[in-house]
Structure 1
Amino acid sequence: MADTTDVSGLSFERALAELEAIVQKLESGNVPLEESISLYARGEALKARCDALLKDAEAKVEKITHGADGKATGTVPLDGE
């Protein structure tokens, strides 16, 4: 059986859309118990993926440098290059 919680290749938008669909499905109350458990596990993985992508984006934004006039002058790569 394939690992249905592997979400490492999903973009933020795709992961969020799938997470929202899972929440709606679970909230409907029309899902068998075993499927609910699988959906919940997938949802947790999607939430973690979204959190990681948001933290990465936040770190990139924090690396934006500012000039003396307060205007952005460029960015600094996260890997230090």
Structure 2
Amino acid sequence: MLFPACHGNKQILFIREALRLADVQAPYRGPRQWQNGPYTYQNDDEGTWEERFCGEERIFIAEEKCMSYATAAV
């Protein structure tokens, strides 16, 4: 879900940076939290790829939520 605070392609470039910092044990998400300038990436996930994985990624710009993406494996 995108929120009004989004700045077009800037948040896409930011999330790509965050995903490059993924843990080798969980390469499908970025770190728990990462900040670069006014942007903050947060990742809350549970389970593993083989298990019932679920999680939510959020991006904030200057502490205002810009994007939220939730996932659940069945």
More helix by share: 1
What TM-score do you get using the length of structure 2 for normalisation? 0.32
